[in-house]
Amino acid sequence: MSTEAPSQQEGYYTRRELLYYGWLSSVTVATVAAGGAVVAFAYPRFKEGEFGGKFVVGKAEDVAEGQVVTVREGKFFLTRQGGEFKAFYQVCTHLGCLLRETKDGFACPCHGSSFDTNGMLVSSPAPRDMDEFVVEVVDGNVVVDTGKRSKGQSRSV
């Protein structure tokens, strides 16, 4: 017959061990739950037709050569030049005012920067060309992804 207390026998836990394992499992569960919540909150979820997501502008054949289509919700100008589609971000590369379409391209009402129809900087103070969004033609439709923007080339004029 054993003279040891049941907690000191093999196969039993001491009260201290039991509390330690309980505390450890609680901390683990809380950490995993908090991490999952942070990831779920930080992960961007943009719907189609919402800035930051994709925009289906329309049939590619409906956009004429040289035409500029303004999509206010997407904050971009869609153009077609040489058969290629480009989507320029409407926000000025200087201090962020909204650009306007002109007969020669785009102009900023705030400090007078202007850009040609290719988004290239024509007059300062803007430091670079217009930013562009990725454009794809999917099943004959022009799709602009406002979540993928490339910065315009730096230029001094």
80 vs 93 by CB, closer to ligand FES: 93
126 vs 142 by CB, closer to ligand FES: 126
Asked if 113 is part of the footprint of ligand FES (rule: CB under 6 A), the reply reads: yes
One-character DSSP codes across 51-108:
BTBEEEEEEGGGS-TT-EEEETTTTEEEEEETTEEEEEESB-TTT-PBPEE-SSEEE-
Contacts of 12 (CB under 8 A, 6+ apart): 6
Asked if 95 is part of the footprint of ligand FES (rule: CB under 6 A), the reply reads: yes
* Listed ranges 33-41, 53-61, 65-73, 107-115: which one lies at the site for ligand FES (CB under 6 A): 107-115
Query: Which residues inside 4-43 make contact with ligand FES, applying CB under 6 A?
Result: none
What is the nearest approach in angstroms of ligand FES to the Cβ of residue 145?
24
Asked if 97 is part of the footprint of ligand FES (rule: CB under 6 A), the reply reads: yes
CA gap 44, 146 in Å, rounded: 13
Asked if 110 is part of the footprint of ligand FES (rule: CB under 6 A), the reply reads: yes
Residues 70, 101 contacting (CB under 8 angstroms): yes
Binding site for ligand FES (CB under 6 A): 92, 94-97, 108, 110-111, 113, 125-126
